[in-house]
């Protein structure tokens, strides 16, 4: 990871393709090594390694995303280079709390690290699940980063699209409505709870960095009261304070709070803003096939 960080030391914005020639030369890779593919046969191993190096450095706060697919070194990254480390690897990044939080979301991460020295410590199925969870955690973080770079209007539309994907209301034409105006009374969207429109759900979407407090929840409750609504969904890219959650739980109206991590998980589960790259099947012996009459 250190060569990639040094490549970004100029402070300019870069894409993954910019770094490839530099890193290929740095590691003196041959043409055959550059062409080597992952077992899936769908991506070059070299490109995959760069993508993960960039992802880990971003999770640790050493790189930052500026626009889609574009990144640059952060102040923390400059500080790390100023210390002149001999190596930047996953162990080195554990000194940063953001990276620790990222790793703690991976169920078998510790077992996977230990398994490098002794494969008997975990089963192949556990290693596969560990890899899947690691990819999913990184994807969720990237999704939130992309959403935070988008406009508030885009976020409001995305929230309605997500609820439609989850089965509320049917189609956008007859089910979802984005309000998104300065005088919307604290409501960013309206969606039918079912295809018949027997009830409606009011939506508030906040593309924030800091946690949403109880005052915002009270404003949302007031907006629901004005519309004589019984159900609401408050979605944010950040989180909710303890007081905010307690405030939402006290009212008679049914209010669901969705924070940033939950939003990203739902987007992955319902295929919004993501696409499938590879599919792996795990097979086992069909014992019935070998039964002889």
Q: Are residues 61 and 167 in the same domain?
A: no
Count of the separate structural domains present in the chain: 2
HSE (CB half, 13 Å, CA atoms) of 110? 4
How high is the pLDDT of residue 22?
Answer: 94
Q: What would the pLDDT profile of 215-252 be if each residue is shown by its tens digit?
A: 999 999 998 988 888 899 999 999 999 999 999 999 88
Instruction: Indicate the SS3 state at residue 193.
Output: coil
131 closest CA partner among 117, 110, 112: 112
Most confident of 53-57, 81-85, 142-146, 166-170: 81-85
Q: Indicate whether 143 and 204 sit together in one domain.
A: no
Would you say residue 285 lies in a domain?
Answer: no
Within-domain flag for 267: no
pLDDT of residue 95: 95
Q: Are residues 166 and 88 in the same domain?
A: no
Work out the pLDDT band at 41, boundaries 50, 70, 90: confident
In the prediction, which pLDDT does 109 show? 45
Q: What average pLDDT does the segment 79-83 reach?
A: 97
**Is residue 249 in some structural domain?**
yes
**Domain check: are 214 and 227 in the same one?**
yes
pLDDT at 123 over 80: no
Same domain, 129 and 169: no
Lowest mean pLDDT, pick from 17-31, 46-60, 167-181, 191-205? 167-181
Q: Which of 37-41, 205-209, 277-281 is modeled with the greatest confidence? A: 205-209
- 232 secondary structure, DSSP code: E
Is 287 part of any domain?
Answer: no
Q: How do residues 238-248 score in pLDDT, each as one tens digit?
A: 999 999 999 99
Q: Classify residue 105 by burial, with Cβ atoms within 10 Å: 0-12, 13-18, 19+.
A: middle
184 pLDDT higher than 70: no
Same domain, residue pair 157 and 141: no
Is residue 108's pLDDT more than 60? no
> Quick one: 13 and 144 in the same domain?
yes
- Residue 292 — pLDDT band, cuts 50, 70, 90? confident
pLDDT band at 179 (very low <50, low <70, confident <90, very high): low
User: 144 and 32 in one domain?
Assistant: yes
Which residues are within 8 A (CB) of 28 and not within 5 positions of it... i.e. 6 or more apart? none
Lowest mean pLDDT among 38-47, 79-88, 269-278: 38-47
Least confident of 13-22, 149-158, 185-194: 185-194
Answer yes or no: is pLDDT of 170 > 90: no
Last residue of a domain, one of 149, 174, 208: 149
Do 127 and 156 belong together in one domain? no
Domain with 198 in it: 152-258
Percent of the chain's residues with pLDDT above 70: 87
Mean pLDDT of 70-87: 96
pLDDT for 185 equals 55
In the listed set 95, 120, 149, which residue is the last one of a domain according to the structure?
149
The answer to the question of residue 11 being in a domain is yes
Task: Write down which residue in 149, 165, 197 finishes a domain.
Answer: 149
Q: Are residues 230 and 218 in the same domain?
A: yes
pLDDT score, position 122 = 57
Tell me the two tokens of residue 231: 């159900």
Whether residues 186 and 173 share a domain: the answer is yes
Continuous segment of H or E residues that includes residue 239: none
Average pLDDT over residues 131-149: 89
User: Is residue 140 in some structural domain?
Assistant: yes
Answer yes or no: is 270 within a domain.
no
Q: Is the pLDDT of residue 30 over 50?
A: yes
What's the CATH code of the domain at 225? 3.40.1350.10
Domain contains 269 = no
C-alpha distances (whole Å) from 167 to each of 163, 175, 270 are 7, 10, 10
pLDDT band at 103 (very low <50, low <70, confident <90, very high): confident
Clarify whether residues 32 and 167 are in a common domain. no
| Residue 20 pLDDT greater than 80, yes or no | yes
68 falls in which pLDDT band (50, 70, 90)?
confident
Q: Averaged over 89-103, what is the pLDDT?
A: 90
């Amino acid at each position: 990871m250190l060569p990639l960080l040094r490549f970004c030391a100029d402070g300019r914005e870069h894409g993954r393709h910019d770094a490839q020639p530099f890193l290929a030369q740095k590691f003196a890779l041959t043409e055959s090594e550059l062409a080597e593919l992952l077992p899936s046969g769908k991506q070059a191993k070299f490109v995959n390694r760069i993508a993960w190096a960039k992802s880990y450095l971003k999770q640790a706060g050493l790189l930052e995303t500026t626009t889609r697919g574009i990144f640059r070194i952060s102040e923390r990254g400059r500080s790390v280079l100023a210390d002149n480390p001999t190596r930047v690897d996953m162990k080195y990044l554990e000194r940063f709390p953001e990276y620790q939080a990222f790793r703690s979301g991976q169920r078998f991460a510790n077992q996977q690290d230990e398994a490098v020295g002794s494969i008997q410590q975990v089963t192949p199925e556990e290693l596969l699940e560990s890899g899947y969870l690691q990819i999913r955690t990184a994807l969720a973080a990237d999704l939130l980063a992309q959403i935070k770079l988008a406009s508030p209007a885009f976020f409001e539309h995305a929230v309605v699209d997500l609820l439609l994907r989850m089965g509320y209301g049917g189609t956008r034409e007859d089910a979802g409505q984005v309000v998104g105006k300065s005088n919307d009374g604290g409501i960013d969207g309206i969606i039918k709870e079912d295809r018949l429109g027997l009830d409606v759900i009011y939506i508030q979407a906040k593309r924030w960095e800091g946690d949403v407090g109880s005052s915002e929840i009270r404003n949302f409750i007031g907006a629901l009261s004005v519309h004589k609504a019984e159900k609401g969904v408050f979605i944010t890219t950040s989180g909710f304070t303890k007081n905010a959650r307690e405030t939402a739980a006290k009212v008679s109206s049914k209010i669901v709070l969705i924070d940033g991590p939950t939003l990203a998980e739902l987007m992955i589960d319902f295929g919004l803003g993501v696409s499938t790259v590879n599919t792996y099947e795990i097979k086992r012996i069909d014992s019935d096939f070998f039964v002889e009459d």
